[in-house]
Structure 1
Amino acid sequence: MSVFQDSGFEHQFLDSRLRQGSYRVDPTVSKPNIVFITVDMISPDCYFTSRPLAQVIQTPNIDAISAEGTSFCRTYTTSPLCGPARAAMFTGMHPPYLTNGERALCGSQVDLQVDDVIFQDYLKAEGYILKHAGKCHVGVDKFIRTFGENVHAWDRWGPPVVDDDRYLDYLDHLNVQPPRYRRELVGLRTDKQTPANSFGGWIEQTDGADFPKEAHYSAFLADLTIRQIKAARRQEPGRPFFAQLDFFDPHQPYSIPSGFEKRYEEIKSAITLPASYTELQANNILPDNPIYALYRKYWGMYDEDTVIDYIAAHLLQVEVVDYAVGRLVDYLKSEGLWDDCVVVFSADHGDMNGRLGMADKGVYFQPDIFAIPLYIKAAKHTMPVMKKIETVCSALDIAPTLLAAAGIEKPAHMEGSNLLKVASGGEKEPMVQVFQTGMHVGMNFGAAIRLEMSGKEWFYGYNASTGYQELYDVDADEQVNLFYEAVGLAMRPELIRKMAEVLSTDVRWRGYWASFRLHNMEYLPDDTGADMQMLKPA
């Protein structure tokens, strides 16, 4: 219900009865259908064009979204962990918590609260029919409140393959039995012999028959999304739909179906071991940072063939996702929905993909686990747009961008920018993005910033738990910590000054500032009158 108009915008409320959740919308903007697709944990090896493996992987359907839209080539998430990264993406703000629920300490917040506002709430208020399939990992209570009782949102780190009723019914219709591993990859304990963590691998049916790719869980999620869109069009044909599809893949443990055997051989032949892995193996050492040493033990990637297979499996799993995305894209095109539909493809965070002898992600500051792809295909009538944008962007930009597509002005609390404007040649709003770690396999709280110095883009991280600091050349394929090297020593005063500006001027980062100023006191001004306790009783 409109309250009043101002400069062409109508003022609305998420809750009109209580006059709560004020926002503004341009009533002249037609509301396109929106499809929002995310993958879970994808290595930049798969989409950084400078990486050799990006020339090997085949993702024609994901590439189609990029080709018909805009690629934002320097995009980062705020956290390398699933739950916090998704919370930031949906709220448009830095995350309210820094751990996934599975490993959180008692008393830690791990979910969005039902009264937290996510961008989907605004779309719902503006008449969109909301649909969701796949992983949410921010608390199902919030998703049920926003998407409705029929939402298919599971709140765990791994997919509910064996206890998803709809998936089992899907397999029955295909006359396919549930999957089991035909060949499984495992890490090793420190004795380098005893099996430890599973990385997944290649799957077959429980009777040993080949497992068809059309029966894969990712294909099921794409099929479910198609059925949800069909339902939305039948339920209320005059209303636009917002369909969100959150894949678990290519997160390990991998589950590669039949039909990719030839691709496996082609990809494997193109892989060389990461230099950082080879160096660790040759010297038989653990990384010098305690948190890296901990993760190195956790993953147990002591066998070179396993590392190569892990990298190959990661790329293959992305190709499985691409196959599933293709089913959805084909449906949208066959129904005449593609041209005027806004389609966004992104990810929650990155993957180490064998670098430093590690898989997955962690609570440390390697740029590869903060980098994410971001492709935005606008509705046809908004063209033309720029094809590639090197401006640094954030997962925090996704929420205001999708709202802008529906004519909704960015709410005041959101921190990102409308990237549709940037894609049309406009300037991106300035934003200070802080990257944070927290609790995962280990506990390591810290903050990082991205900055440009000496003609390069740098990623500078401070680990509050240990005082260890990290500095990386973002454009390097192999990320080597340069903070303690000659280049880092030369840059250190300026790095510390810039970090101090960020941490000391926002109350949210006060916890990092408290120890950062002590660890780096010799590089900061000698404020003899400063109270190091930061608080003083009156």
Structure 2
Amino acid sequence: MNRRNFLSTTPLAAFAGDAAPGAAAQQAGDNGEFHYVDRRQGAHPFQTVHGARRPHIFLICLDMVSPDHFLPSRPLQREMEMPTIRALTAEGVNFTNAFCTVPICSPSRASMYTGRYPYVLANPGGGPEGQENSLRANDVIYPEYLKASGYRTRHVGKNHVGAQKFMDAFDELDTNWARAMPVLKDDGLYHAYLRRLGVKMPRYSRQIQRMYPDRKTPSGTLGGWIEQSDGQPFPIEGQYSWYLSQWAIEKTRDAFASGGPGSPLYLQLNIYDPHNPFTIPAGLEKREAELRKAISLPASFRRAVERNFQPSPGEPALLDFHRRVWGIYRPETARDYMAANALAMEVIDRALARFIKALKEMNIYDESLIIFTADHGEMNIHQALVDKGAYLHPETQRVPLVIKPPASFGSRPATVDAPVSLLDLAATVCDAAGVIPLARMDGRSLLPYVRGQAEAGGRDLLFQTGWLATGNPAFGTERWERGGRHHFFVHNMGSTSDELYDLNDADAGSIAADPSQRKILDEMAQRTYALLEKDDRWRYYRLAFRFQHYDVLKAV
């Protein structure tokens, strides 16, 4: 049976007309070989490409990165010392309009690893009993395809989509955590690492306190600056991101020592930082002083102070609720948060410098494909908010995305402004590995952009959210026009008012109530409905949305 006839009987046929084929799919033709992730059951088939170059692949994923720290237009990132990340960006393709699907850790990671829009809409423990917050046993994450096709697969750090999936995709003895918070107190390997350094466990010397709405009573900590438990300075070499990078170096070396030279390696380094609670080590006092001088509080925070943190006219009540949850009312606390957040990124950069240096010393850097990204964004004091929540906003939806290709690709460094998604990473990695999954994926390979073979264009991307601190079924989309307007539309199912953001505004508030934006708002509602109609997974979104927007949609 030739491939065309085979595809007509597989799940791939359901989306082949929608998704842009990657290089692997174009090269496979009738010469590809068929394999299965589960060979005994003949489950999860995929095809491989004869003669495909199979590079080493490294995924570096941070947790909750503010657009202030990576968008070229943001002044703060120009003041930050991140030579490693900048060098990686200079050698690769920088996607400046990359988005997550859900701005919550577990759902975003579920989407990134499966290449599909997630049914997981809450972190573990983040929703009511019965709410799915881990991937199912019959889901496949893309490292499973790599493993089944001959890659050695290794994992370091956070997974947060269920431990069983990572046991399927990686060595069952790989340590991973499926919880929201880092495992500093539970990680015996980290404790042994500190003992080897002669460093005692960390404790806080300065903390950033959240406050209850009375603005007097502390409601919790957002972390801060750490010292050793005996009061001695805590060295950067003992900080958890540094430890994870060292662990990644050791796993890479072990993989090459134990495997044959022809077996490619896939390793993912999932760093919890810069997610709060921050753990800023000693030795950064000068950088802290310099960053504090460079930090300017967002205008939206200053406006919140001026109105005494009363809700902004036209904004959804959800934002005011999350503002009270995070409880940052004082400008000095806001500055502390922004300074610690920026310092956490600089610590990561220094840790990654060691990892990149090790790859070069092992002579594998040049021919490796390296992806640098994060699971979602972070408010970072914009709109007087931090972290993220059960809402959709450009600051939490944006993610950094850089792909450094192997030298043999012959690619040139580039900047891509077209919208892309973390949905695309699974298809991209499989394409680079010469693997063609025959199951449905919602994402597209980004290698045509990396190879300079794709024209920038608009994209239908759906965004969702669910449970975090509260529940809020919400969805939205964006519209991008080359060299022009770029808007972000949100519908909260528990509210009668929509949100509309100008993505060119670095401190965006909703402009949906502005009469001059009515035409764009209606166009975005129609665009969103058309997107919901394409896929039966969005049936209940579609039904409610049509009734609430009947006058705008009745002609559609």
Please classify the TM superposition score into its range, dividing by the shorter chain length: over 0.9
1:415 equivalenced with 2:442 (yes/no): yes
The aligned counterpart of 1:240 is 264
Kindly state the Cα deviation for residue 271 of structure 1 after the two structures are TM-superposed: 1.1
Cα distance in structure 1, aligned partners of 2:161 and 2:195:
30
Corresponding residue to 2:465 among 433, 437, 462: 437
**Within 5 A, what are the aligned runs for 1:40-51?**
40-51=63-74
Residues 459 and 480 in structure 2, CA contact (< 8 A), matched pair in contact too? no
Residues 99 and 110 in structure 1, CA contact (< 8 A), matched pair in contact too? yes
Kindly state the Cα deviation for residue 33 of structure 1 after the two structures are TM-superposed: 1.2
Of residues 503-512 and 423-432 in structure 1, the stretch that sits farther from structure 2 once superposed is 423-432
Cα distance in structure 2, aligned partners of 1:479 and 1:410:
39
Which residue identity is paired with 1:437? T
Kindly state the Cα deviation for residue 411 of structure 1 after the two structures are TM-superposed: 3.9
Cα distance in structure 2, aligned partners of 1:396 and 1:500:
20
Cα distance in structure 2, aligned partners of 1:298 and 1:272:
23
**Within 5 A, what are the aligned runs for 1:128-143?**
128-143=151-166
SS in 1 for 2:272: coil
The aligned counterpart of 1:164 is 187
Corresponding residue to 1:254 among 278, 285, 290: 278
**Within 5 A, what are the aligned runs for 1:70-219?**
70-219=93-242
Kindly state the Cα deviation for residue 6 of structure 1 after the two structures are TM-superposed: 4.4
Residues 375 and 399 in structure 2, CA contact (< 8 A), matched pair in contact too? yes
The aligned counterpart of 1:307 is 334
Of residues 358-367 and 164-173 in structure 1, the stretch that sits farther from structure 2 once superposed is 358-367
Which residue identity is paired with 1:121? E
Corresponding residue to 2:512 among 478, 483, 498: 483
Residues 144 and 168 in structure 2, CA contact (< 8 A), matched pair in contact too? no
Residues 460 and 478 in structure 2, CA contact (< 8 A), matched pair in contact too? no
SS in 2 for 1:311: helix
The aligned counterpart of 1:503 is 532
Cα distance in structure 2, aligned partners of 1:131 and 1:487:
53
1:368 equivalenced with 2:395 (yes/no): yes
1:446 equivalenced with 2:474 (yes/no): yes
Corresponding residue to 1:286 among 300, 311, 317: 311
Kindly state the Cα deviation for residue 495 of structure 1 after the two structures are TM-superposed: 2.0
Residues 114 and 145 in structure 1, CA contact (< 8 A), matched pair in contact too? no
Q: Deviations over 1:313-362 (max 9, x none)?
A: 11100111111111100100111111111111100000000011111011
Residues 73 and 390 in structure 1, CA contact (< 8 A), matched pair in contact too? yes
Corresponding residue to 1:401 among 428, 437, 441: 428
Kindly state the Cα deviation for residue 430 of structure 1 after the two structures are TM-superposed: 7.8
Which residue identity is paired with 2:488? F
Q: Deviations over 1:463-509 (max 9, x none)?
A: 01223311001111111101111232232332221122112332111
Cα distance in structure 1, aligned partners of 2:79 and 2:468:
32
Of residues 451-460 and 413-422 in structure 1, the stretch that sits farther from structure 2 once superposed is 451-460
Q: Deviations over 1:251-282 (max 9, x none)?
A: 00100001111111111111111111111111
Cα distance in structure 2, aligned partners of 1:442 and 1:19:
41
The aligned counterpart of 1:26 is 49
Cα distance in structure 2, aligned partners of 1:359 and 1:78:
19
The aligned counterpart of 2:550 is 521
Cα distance in structure 2, aligned partners of 1:311 and 1:430:
33
Kindly state the Cα deviation for residue 34 of structure 1 after the two structures are TM-superposed: 1.1
Kindly state the Cα deviation for residue 385 of structure 1 after the two structures are TM-superposed: 3.1
Residues 460 and 495 in structure 1, CA contact (< 8 A), matched pair in contact too? yes
Cα distance in structure 2, aligned partners of 1:470 and 1:330:
45
Kindly state the Cα deviation for residue 372 of structure 1 after the two structures are TM-superposed: 0.4
Cα distance in structure 1, aligned partners of 2:85 and 2:306:
38
Residues 160 and 178 in structure 2, CA contact (< 8 A), matched pair in contact too? yes
Cα distance in structure 2, aligned partners of 1:514 and 1:263:
52
Residues 415 and 431 in structure 1, CA contact (< 8 A), matched pair in contact too? no
1:52 equivalenced with 2:47 (yes/no): no
The aligned counterpart of 2:416 is 389
Cα distance in structure 1, aligned partners of 2:424 and 2:524:
25
Cα distance in structure 1, aligned partners of 2:88 and 2:441:
26
Cα distance in structure 2, aligned partners of 1:111 and 1:286:
35
Q: Quick one: structure 1 residues 383 and 487, their matched pair in 2 at CA, closer, same or farther if it must change by over 3 Å?
A: farther
Which residue identity is paired with 1:157? A
Which residue identity is paired with 2:87? A
Residues 294 and 442 in structure 1, CA contact (< 8 A), matched pair in contact too? no
Q: Quick one: structure 1 residues 526 and 406, their matched pair in 2 at CA, closer, same or farther if it must change by over 3 Å?
A: closer
SS in 2 for 1:320: helix
Aligned length: 525
Q: Deviations over 1:43-68 (max 9, x none)?
A: 00001111110111111111222111
Kindly state the Cα deviation for residue 412 of structure 1 after the two structures are TM-superposed: 4.3
Of residues 27-36 and 167-176 in structure 1, the stretch that sits farther from structure 2 once superposed is 27-36
Which residue identity is paired with 2:257? R
Which residue identity is paired with 1:306? T
Kindly state the Cα deviation for residue 303 of structure 1 after the two structures are TM-superposed: 1.0
Q: Deviations over 1:121-141 (max 9, x none)?
A: 110011111111100000001
Residues 141 and 165 in structure 2, CA contact (< 8 A), matched pair in contact too? no
Cα distance in structure 2, aligned partners of 1:368 and 1:430:
20
SS in 1 for 2:453: coil
Residues 116 and 423 in structure 2, CA contact (< 8 A), matched pair in contact too? yes
Output the TM-score relative to the length of structure 1: 0.95
Of residues 158-167 and 420-429 in structure 1, the stretch that sits farther from structure 2 once superposed is 420-429
Which residue identity is paired with 2:547? L
Q: Quick one: structure 1 residues 410 and 19, their matched pair in 2 at CA, closer, same or farther if it must change by over 3 Å?
A: closer
SS in 1 for 2:321: helix
Cα distance in structure 1, aligned partners of 2:506 and 2:533:
32
Q: Deviations over 1:98-142 (max 9, x none)?
A: 111122111110001122111101100111111111000000011
Residues 81 and 361 in structure 1, CA contact (< 8 A), matched pair in contact too? yes
The aligned counterpart of 2:368 is 341
Cα distance in structure 2, aligned partners of 1:77 and 1:278:
28
Which of structure 1's runs of 4+ aligned residues deviate more than 6 A? none
Corresponding residue to 2:298 among 262, 270, 274: 274
Residues 286 and 296 in structure 1, CA contact (< 8 A), matched pair in contact too? no
Kindly state the Cα deviation for residue 19 of structure 1 after the two structures are TM-superposed: 2.2
Which residue identity is paired with 2:306? A
Q: Deviations over 1:155-181 (max 9, x none)?
A: 111111011000000000000001000
Of residues 377-386 and 50-59 in structure 1, the stretch that sits farther from structure 2 once superposed is 377-386
Over the aligned positions, Cα root-mean-square deviation in angstroms equals: 1.7
Residues 180 and 203 in structure 1, CA contact (< 8 A), matched pair in contact too? yes
Which residue identity is paired with 2:508? Q
1:296 equivalenced with 2:323 (yes/no): yes
Residues 65 and 376 in structure 2, CA contact (< 8 A), matched pair in contact too? yes
Cα distance in structure 1, aligned partners of 2:440 and 2:97:
24
Cα distance in structure 2, aligned partners of 1:333 and 1:492:
50
Cα distance in structure 2, aligned partners of 1:134 and 1:472:
34
Of residues 506-515 and 133-142 in structure 1, the stretch that sits farther from structure 2 once superposed is 506-515
